[in-house]
Amino acid sequence: MKLRLGFIILGIILISFAQSNKLTCSRTEQQASCKLARSGFLWSEEKELPVNKLRGAEFYSPKDDESSKVVIKTSNSEVPFSSFTSYSDENQQRAIASQINNFVTNNKQSYLQVEQNDTWWIVIGFISLAVGVYPLLKPKS
């Protein structure tokens, strides 16, 4: 019984790690703005970033005990693209930083949308939940 409970708790914890991060920028003659939307299992947040304050993005390779990350640079701060540690593919993160930099340097580009999902945490979490819950649902013989 303790092992099943452990799988259920582990599943819930793993599902809570799932997050989605999306940066959407629009540049027209009348208005230019970016919205950074981040969400997880039980939370979500949005942040507005003025396009004229964007300076680009940088990909940071993992160091000793850190994971890789993308940081959006503005004229007065640095904003992490992901709200917490992301274990996404480094090539995907490099591509996201590159797309943001291209948007910043190319004034003719009117729209940008980049997205990063760590939804595989949900899959692993549900597998763990299934392992913990299945014996409870199985009819007793």
Q: Phi first, then psi: what are they for 115, rounded to 5°?
A: -140, 145
pLDDT in tens, 31-52: 889 999 998 878 899 999 989 8
For the whole model, what pTM was predicted? 0.78
The mean pLDDT value for 8-33 works out to 88
More confident residue, 52 or 63: 52
In a domain, 137, yes or no: no
Expressed as residue numbers, the domain containing 96 is 1-131
- Total tally of structural domains belonging to the chain: 1
Predicted local confidence at residue 87, as pLDDT: 58
In a domain, 105, yes or no: yes
pLDDT in tens, 97-112: 999 999 999 999 999 9
Predicted local confidence at residue 65, as pLDDT: 60
CB atoms inside a 10 Å sphere around CB 42 = 7
Q: Would you say residue 77 has pLDDT above 70?
A: yes
CB 48 within 8 A of CB 63: no
In a domain, 25, yes or no: yes
The CATH number that applies at residue 79 is 2.30.29
- Sole residue written with tokens 């003659």: 29
How far is residue 21 from each of residues 5, 42, 79, 84, 116, measured CA to CA in Å? 31, 14, 12, 10, 5
Q: Would you say residue 84 has pLDDT above 70?
A: no
Predicted local confidence at residue 115, as pLDDT: 92
Q: Would you say residue 93 has pLDDT above 80?
A: yes
In a domain, 53, yes or no: yes
Using 50, 70 and 90 to split pLDDT, how confident is the model at 55?
Answer: very high
